[in-house]
């Protein structure tokens, strides 16, 4: 999902509602929030029942590296190849 709009359009409010409702329906999930200002993260932490499920990343402070092709440890070779074929 890509949420776009001018300042004051309601992007932050929409995402806050979406995330809090999602966390209520899927309490085992974890939210990773990349927020350069930090104000949205503070708002969400106050609204979420379990703010330990919120991982806040400040992109100015932290270097984030994601390898979409990495295969988790312990996955059998044949299954890893199957997943790789779907991704590439």
Ligand X SMILES: Nc1ncnc2c1ncn2[C@@H]1O[C@H](COP(=O)(O)OP(=O)(O)O)[C@@H](O)[C@H]1O
Chain residues binding ligand X by CB under 6 A are 5, 7-13
Closer residue to ligand X in complex, CB, 43/57: 43
Q: Which stretch binds Mg ion (CB under 5 A): 7-15, 21-29, 59-67, 71-79?
A: 7-15
Of residues 35-54, those binding Mg ion (CB under 5 A):
none
- The contact pattern for Mg ion, residues 8-27, with x = CB under 5 A and - = no contact, is ----x---------------
Q: Are 37 and 58 in contact (CB under 8 A)?
A: no
Q: Are 54 and 42 in contact (CB under 8 A)?
A: no
Question: What sections of 1-88 are H helices per DSSP?
Answer: 11-25, 39-47, 77-87
- Residue 44: CB minimum distance to ligand X, A: 12
For residue 52, the minimal CB distance to ligand X (Å) is 25
Would you call 57 helix, strand, or coil by DSSP? strand
Give the separation between CA 23 and CA 10, rounded to whole angstroms: 20
- Kindly list the residues in this chain that would bind Mg ion in the complex (CB under 5 A): 12
């Amino acid at each position: 999902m890509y949420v776009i709009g001018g300042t004051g359009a309601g992007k932050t409010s929409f995402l806050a509602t979406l995330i809090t409702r999602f966390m209520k329906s899927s309490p085992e999930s974890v939210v990773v929030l990349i927020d350069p200002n930090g104000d949205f993260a503070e708002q969400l932490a106050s609204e979420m029942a379990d703010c330990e499920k919120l991982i806040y990343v400040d992109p100015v402070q932290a270097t984030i590296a994601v390898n979409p092709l990495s295969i988790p440890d312990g996955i059998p070779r044949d299954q890893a190849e199957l997943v790789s074929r779907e991704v590439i």
